[in-house]
Amino acid sequence: MALWAIGLAGGTAAASSLAFALTNPAIGSDVGEPLVIAVLSDWITLSYVLCGLLAWWHRPASRFGPLMVLAGFANYVTTLAWTNGDVSFTVGQAFDFVPPVLFLHLFLAFPSGQLSGRFDRALVVVAYVTAVGLELVRMTLGGFGPHNLLEIAPNPDAALVVVRVQLLAVSAFCLTGVAVLAARRRRSGRPLRRSLALLVNAFALALVMIALLFVAIVLDGPAIAQIRWATFVTLGLAPVAFLVGLLLARLARSAVGELVVGLHAEPGPADLRDALARALRDPSLTVAYWLPEFGSYADLDGRPVELPDDDGRTTTLIDRNGSHVAALLHDPALNDEPALLDGVTAAAGIAIDNARLHAELRARLQELRGSRIRVIEAGQKERQRLERDLHDGAQQRLISLSLDLSRLEDRLGADPDARTSLDEARREIATSLEELRAVARGIHPAVVSGHGLGVALEQLAARAPVPVRLTVTVEGRLPERLEVAAFYLVSESLANIGKHANARSASVDVARANGLVIVEVADDGIGGADTEKGTGLRGLADRVEALEGRLRVWSPHGGGTRLRAEIPCAS
Amino acid sequence: MRVVIAEDSVLLREGLERLLSENGLEVVGSCSTAEDLLLKVRSYAPDVAIVDIRLPPTHNDEGLRAALEIREHHPDVAVLVLSQYVELGLAMKLLAESAEGAGYLLKDRISDVADFVSAVRRVAGGGSAIDPIIVSTLLSRRRSDDPLVELTPREREVLELMAEGRSNQGIADKLVLTLRAVEKYVSSIFGKLGLPSSGSDSRRVLAVLLYLRS
C-alpha cells in the first residue's frame, strides 16, 4: 500500500516539475527548450522512483530500492529551483548537486544498498558535503536572482570560482568511484553475472557522462546542450538496466523448471554441477559434498575441498531431511536472489544426494587405494630388510667360514681323512650358500633395486628355458614397487612358459607410453592358458591390479600366449 | 702386485686381506666405502682393486658405480668385482667395451683359494675373470639352429674356460692337456662359431660373451 502511495507521489512530482518548467520560461534560456529539459528531468525522476519501487517490492530487505526512490525524489527536488516561491527556490537550488552524488552512492552501494568499506563511505560523505556545502556557500555569494533567501554578500567572481571547484570536484568523485569499482572487478578475476554486468556498466557510463558534462561546463566546451541531454538519457537508463537485471533473474527462476526437467533425465553426477551452474547463471559455481565419515568436504572425485572464507566467494549450505549434504561455492551476487538459490537447491535435492554418495564412494576408494599401496610398500620394505639381513649376515659369515676352512686345509698337511672331511664341510657350505641365495632372491630381487629393471631382466632372459628376445625401452629408473612387480611378472611368466607353453621362443617387451608402463611377454607355444584355473595368472593379475594397472592375457589354442600388463606411472 | 680392497663386511675384508698377503700379494689399502676406495685408488695407484658390488650407504649400486669410475678414469688399475649374486646384466655393464683388466666373480669363489688368487693375478695383469655361472647361464639356452650344438663336449669345456677369461695355458693346466691341443680346440671353436680369432685373451672373452648373448 505504502509503495503505491510513493509511486503516486512520484507521478505527481513529475507532473509538477513539468508544470514548473512550462510556467517559467527563464529556465531553458541557456540550455534549451524548457519542455525538453523538463521531460529529460522527469525521465530521470520517474525511472528512478518507479524502478526503485519495483526493487523495493521485489526485495523488501534490500536498501537498494529505497535508495533509488530517494535518488528520484532528490532529482525532483532540484526542479523546485524552477519555481518562483522564495523557499521552494532556495531549497531546490541547494539540492542542485545532490543527484549526481546520489547516483555515485547508488553505484557504489550496489547490490546490497549498503556501502562496503571505509573508502567507499568516505568518498560518498565527502561528495555529499562538497555538493551541498559548496552550493550553500555559492548561494550566499548571490547571482541566483530575487528568490534566493541565502544571498548575503554578492560577489560574482567568487561565485564563479566556487561553481568551478564544485563541478570539478564532483566529476572527480564520480570518476574515482568508477575506477575503484573497475579495479575491484579486475582483482576479483571473475566475470560478473550477465544481469549485473549490464547494470554496473550502465551506471558507470552515466557517472562518466556526468563527469564529462561537468568538465565541459567548466571549460565552456562545445555542444554542452547535447552532452547534457545524453547524460540525462544515460542516467535514466541505469534503472532500466536494473529492471532488465531483475527480469533476467526472473527468467533464471524459470531455469529451475528446466533444471527439474534436466535432472529428470538422470544425468551422471558429473553433469550435475554444469546443470546447477546453468540454472544459477554462475559459470564459476563449484559444488562440495559433505562426507560425514571424513568430517570434511570433497569434490565429486572424493578429493578434499576447503571451503573458502574470502569475500570473493560465497558458500551456501544445502541440507536435506535434517542432515547436511553439500555446499555451493558461488558468486556473492547470487545472495541477492535467495529465491533462485532455494529453488535450484530444492529442485536438485535428490540429484545432489546421489552425487554426494558418489563422492563418498570415491573418497573411500581413494582411501582404500592409498592403504593398498601403503601395504604393498610396507611389505616390500620388510622383504628388502630381510634380504639385506641375509646378505649382510648369514651369507657373509658362511663365505668367511668357508675361507677359514680353506686356509686350515693348507696347514693340515697330508692327513687324507681330515682333508676329506674339510672338503665335505666346504661343499656343505657352498650348498647352503646356494640355497640361501635362492631364498633371498625370492624374498626380494636385490638386483632390481640396485641396478634397475633392465639389468635384472637380462639375467632372467638369459636363464629362461627358451631363447628370449628382450627389449627394454624404458629410460632411467621407475618407482621401485613398479620395477619389482614387473620383475616378478616376467619371472613368473617365463617360468610358466617353461612349464606349460611348449614354446620354441619368447619375447619380453618393456616400454613406456601415455603415462603407462607396458610389460608384454609372448611365446609361440601351444596357448590355451586359463586365467581361472590355477593361481599363477590370478596371482600376477593381483600384483598388477594392486598398482592400479590391469593384466590381459590372450591365449588361443595353438596360437601362443601373450600377456600384457599396463601399469600407470606418472612421468 | 699391489691390491686395494673395498668390502663392508669386516669378517670378509680381513679374510681377504689375510688370504691375499699369505699368497704373496701386497694389500696396500682396504676400506668399506666407495668413496674411500676411489681415494685409495687415486693415492696408491694399485695394480688391482677388489670391490664388493654392494657398499654403503644404500647398498644398492655404489660398488659397481665406483668400479665403472675406476675403469673410466684409471685405466691402469684393474677391477675385480665381487658379488653375492651373479647377474648377466651387471657383467655386461662392467665389461661394456672391453674385458681387459676386469673381473666379475661370485663371492663364494674366494674359498677356492688357489683359483681365486690366480683370477686376481690374471685380472691385475690385464686379463679377465668371468664367473662360471655367467658363462653357464649363457650356454644353457638351447637353440635348434645354434652352431653351439656342433661343438664336441671337449670343445664346449674349452669354450667355457675361455669365456671365463683363462689363457690357453690356463685352460691346458685345468683340463690337463698340452698347450698345442688347446690351441687346436680354440681354432676349431672359432671356426665353427664363425668368429674371427682375436689376439688377446680378454678380447677373446668379450667376443665370446657377446656371441653367446646375442
CB within 8 Å: A450 and B54: yes
CB within 8 Å: A464 and B88: no
- pLDDT per residue, tens digit, chain B (214 aa), is 999 999 999 999 999 999 999 999 999 999 999 999 999 999 999 999 999 999 988 888 899 999 999 999 999 999 999 998 888 888 888 988 888 999 999 999 998 999 999 999 999 999 999 999 888 888 876 565 677 888 899 998 999 999 999 999 999 999 999 999 999 999 998 888 888 876 777 788 888 888 887 7
Q: Dihedral of the CA atoms A10, A14, A16, A21 (nearest 10)? A: 160
Residue A457 touches chain B, beta carbons under 8 Å: yes
Chain A and chain B share a number of CB contacts under 8 A equal to 103
Interface test with B, best of A399, A408, A502 (most B CBs within 10 A): A399
Chain B contact set for A457 (CB, 8 A): 89
The alpha carbon of residue A478 is apart from the nearest alpha carbon of chain B, in Å, by 15
Cell 647398498 sits at which residue? Answer: B59
CB within 8 Å: B89 and A399: no
Pinpoint the alpha helices (H) of A327-395: 338-347, 349-390
* pLDDT tens track for A84-137: 788 888 888 888 888 888 888 888 887 777 887 888 889 889 988 888 888 888
Please choose, from the candidates A523, A489, A491, the residue with its C-alpha nearest in 3D space to the C-alpha of residue A505: A523
Q: Is the pLDDT of residue A265 over 70?
A: no
ipTM: 0.87
Q: What string of DSSP letters covers B68-110?
A: HHHHHH-TTSEEEEEESS--HHHHHHHHTT--TTEEEEEGGGG
The alpha carbon of residue A327 is apart from the nearest alpha carbon of chain B, in Å, by 49
Q: What string of DSSP letters covers B62-76?
A: HHHHHHHHHHHH-TT
CB within 8 Å: A467 and B138: no
User: Tell me, what's the pLDDT at A132?
Assistant: 86
Distance between CA atoms of A445 and A434, rounded to whole angstroms?
15
Residue A124 touches chain B, beta carbons under 8 Å: no
The alpha carbon of residue B93 is apart from the nearest alpha carbon of chain A, in Å, by 8
Chain B contact set for A455 (CB, 8 A): 87, 89-90, 93
Chain B contact set for A406 (CB, 8 A): 111-113
Residue A180 touches chain B, beta carbons under 8 Å: no
Distance between CA atoms of B146 and B126, rounded to whole angstroms?
32
Which grid coordinates belong to B210? 657377446
CB within 8 Å: A403 and B143: no
Query: What's the one-letter identity of residue B206?
Result: L
User: Tell me, what's the pLDDT at B125?
Assistant: 93
Chain A contact set for B89 (CB, 8 A): 447, 451, 454-459
Distance between CA atoms of A314 and A319, rounded to whole angstroms?
16
CB within 8 Å: B110 and A467: no
The alpha carbon of residue A498 is apart from the nearest alpha carbon of chain B, in Å, by 12
> Phi then psi for A128, rounded to 5 degrees?
-60, -45
Chain B contact set for A404 (CB, 8 A): 15
Radius of gyration of chain B (CA): 17
Mean pLDDT check: name the lowest of A173-182, A199-208, A499-508: A199-208
Instruction: Provide the greatest CA pair distance for chain B.
Output: 53
CB within 8 Å: A399 and B112: no
Give the closest of A403, A406, A455 to B90, CB-based.
A455
The alpha carbon of residue A560 is apart from the nearest alpha carbon of chain B, in Å, by 18
pLDDT band of A202, cuts 50, 70, 90: confident
Mean pLDDT check: name the lowest of A38-42, A436-440, A496-500, B81-85: A38-42
The chain A residue lying nearest B58, using CA atoms, is: A450
